[in-house]
Amino acid sequence: MTDQREAAAQRRGETDRVKAFTDAVIAIIMTILVLEIGVPPDLGDQSLVEALDETWPELAAWMISFLITGMYWVWHRDLFNQMRRVNRVVVWLNLLFLLPLALVPFAASVLGEYSDNPIGLHVYGAILIVTALARWLLYAYVMRRPELLYETPTSSHRRVGGALAAAPIAVYVVAMLVAPLSTSLSLALYLLLPSLYLLLILALRRHPSTSAEAQAYG
């Protein structure tokens, strides 16, 4: 009986189904994003350049959202590569992380339609902030449960990972704050976020005190 309970607990703790489910959801999100790009109407009455000019906000929203969603997928992969098992709380926190992430296509649609309106940029940023907070919550819980991990994380490892999880929030907040002043600058900040995130990881990898910890991310 004890062996059966241990076997059942081991099956419940497998990470494969959580990773596969998350991969599937994110793949669907990234696929749906392209559906938000409308086909230019009345191509016979205007030049192709004019038609594409009308759809550039949607294309910009698609590119930003695709890169940001991909950034979160890479982070999720890196986190779960450190985990040897999950518990029920992790499963629910993972669902909580996917909840706002699944709203990214909606946010991209709003951004594409109202890229010149601060409210559209605020809606987009708010959804990304909630996603980043859910990501940080999942990371913080896992890092405080060494029994779920292959190796017990050091305080430096937790600190670097926590900083990387929270860093995008600062960019989202700035992008929202500048939106009433310059919608173009706000949009550029959202677009630059994945590059800024990558540069932050590279900087941490080059620094002797954080090099080892940063190798686990990005």
Confidence grade of residue 139 (pLDDT, cut at 50, 70, 90): very high
Per-residue confidence (pLDDT) for residue 115, from 0 to 100: 85
Per-residue confidence (pLDDT) for residue 8, from 0 to 100: 44
* Domain ranges across the chain: 2-214
* Residues 69-108: tens digit of each pLDDT: 999 999 999 899 999 999 999 999 999 999 999 999 999 9
Between 203 and 48, where is the model more confident?
203
* Residues 1-28: tens digit of each pLDDT: 554 444 444 555 689 999 999 999 999 9
pLDDT exceeds 90 at position 126: yes
Per-residue confidence (pLDDT) for residue 42, from 0 to 100: 62
Give the mean pLDDT of 109-133.
Answer: 93
Average pLDDT, the chain: 85
Give the mean pLDDT of 142-158.
Answer: 88
What secondary structure, in 3-state letters, does the chain show? Answer: CHHHHHHHHHHHCCCHHHHHHHHHHHHHHHHHHHHHCCCCCCHHHCCHHHHHHHHHHHHHHHHHHHHHHHHHHHHHHHHHCCECCCCHHHHHHHHHHHHHHCCHHHHHHHHHHCCCCHHHHHHHHHHHHHHHHHHHHHHHHHHCCHHHECCCCCHHHHHHHHHHHHHHHHHHHHHHHHCCCCHHHHHHHHHHHHHHHHHHHHHHHHCCCCHHHHCCCC
